[in-house]
Amino acid sequence: MSLIADQLHALGFRNMSAQSLKPKHVEGLVSSWQAESLAVGTIKNRMTVLRWWAQKVDRQNVIARQNDHYGIPERSFVSRESKAVRVDGQALDRVGDIHVRMSLELQQAFGLRREEAIKFQPSYADRGDRLVLKDSWTKGGKAREIPVRTPAQRELLDRAHRLAGRGSLIPDERNYRQQLRVYERHTANAGLSKLHGLRHAYAQARYEQLTGWKPPAAGGRSSKSLSGGDRAVDREARLAISRELGHEREQITAVYLGR
C-alpha cells in the first residue's frame, strides 16, 4: 500500500484520500508496472491489494473484475526463456549514487531482492562464510542465510563494510522510502531495467556450479531428460537455490531455471 501511494504521487495524482480511488488511478498504476516489465505474478499481487483497498472504501466498481481487461496475461510458473540480467562495470559507472551501485552489486553477487540490497547492513550480515539476512529486510519476514563462496564476493563485502561502516546502505540522512526513490531514479537514468533479472542470473549461475550443467532456461537439458542420478543432483541444487533466494518450495525455481 505504501509503494502504491508513492507511485500514485509520482504519477502526478496528488492530495488523494483513501476514498479517492478511480479507474484512472488503476489504469495509471498498471501502465506504470507494465512499463517496468514487472513479472506477471507481481502485477497480479498488486492488483489484489488494489481490490482490497477498493472493497474497504466501497468502490469495488472502479476496478475491472478480470485482469485481462488491463492486458495482464495469465501467469506462467515455468520460465520458457532466460530472464537473467547482468550489470557490467560500464553500466555501474553510469549510476550516480555510490550506495545504489553497491546495492546493485550485492543483488548480482548474492541474488538479493532490491529491498534486501538497499537495507543491507554488512556489519550484521557478514558472518565470514555466509550472509545472514534479517527478517525485517526480507519478503514475508523470512530470515535466511546465503553462502559466501568466492574471492569476488568477499572483495565486494569488504567494500560494502568500508562504505556502510556500522550502518546500512541507506545513508543517515535518508529513510528506506527515500533511498528507494533514489535507487529508482539512478537506475532509470543509467538505462537499467528488469533488475529482478539479477536474481535469475544468480540462480542460473548457482545451478551450473552445483550441477555442472546449465539450467533449461539457459539452454541446458530439461528435467525430463535427466537420468536418475542427474535428476537427484538437479533436485538438490534446486532446493539449495530456493533456500538461498528466500523461497520454501522447490517448484518456484522453475521461474528462474526453467523445467
Domain ranges of the chain: 2-70, 95-189, 198-257
pLDDT of residue 181: 95
Whether 79 shows a pLDDT value over 80: the answer reads no
Rounded CA-CA distance 71/67 in Å is 7
Burial category of 34 from C-beta neighbours within 10 Å (exposed 0-12, middle 13-18, buried 19 and up): middle
CA 68 to chain centroid, in Å, comes to 24
Q: What is the pTM of this model?
A: 0.72
- Judge whether residue 80 has pLDDT over 70: no
DSSP the chain: -HHHHHHHHHTT--S--GGG--HHHHHHHHHHHHHTT--HHHHHHHHHHHHHHHHHTT-GGGS-SSGGGGT-PPP-SS-SS-------HHHHHT---HHHHHHHHHHHHH---HHHHHH--HHHHB-SSEEEE-TTTSGGG--EEEE--SHHHHHHHHHHHHHHTTS-SS-TT--HHHHHHHHHHHHHHTT---TTHHHHHHHHHHHHHHHSS--GGGT---GGG--HHHHHHHHHHHHHHHHHHT-S-GGGHHHHH--
The torsion angles phi and psi of 132, rounded to 5 degrees, stand at: -120, 115
Q: What is the band of 77 on the pLDDT scale with cuts at 50, 70, 90?
A: low
Average confidence (pLDDT) over 175-198:
94
Compute the average pLDDT of residues 183-194.
94
Contact 234, 257 (CB under 8 A): no
Q: Burial, 68: exposed, middle or buried (Cβ in 10 Å; 0-12, 13-18, 19+)? A: exposed
Lowest model confidence (mean pLDDT) among 163-167, 204-208, 232-236, 253-257 = 253-257
> Which pLDDT belongs to residue 73?
77
CA pair distance 164, 217, nearest whole angstrom: 36
From CA 166, how far away is CA 35, in angstroms rounded? 37
Tell which residue, 28, 84, 23, has the closest CA to residue 220.
Answer: 84
Please, which pLDDT band fits residue 252 given cuts at 50, 70 and 90? confident
Mean pLDDT, residues 220-233: 92
- Measured distance CA(112)–CA(138) in Å, rounded: 9
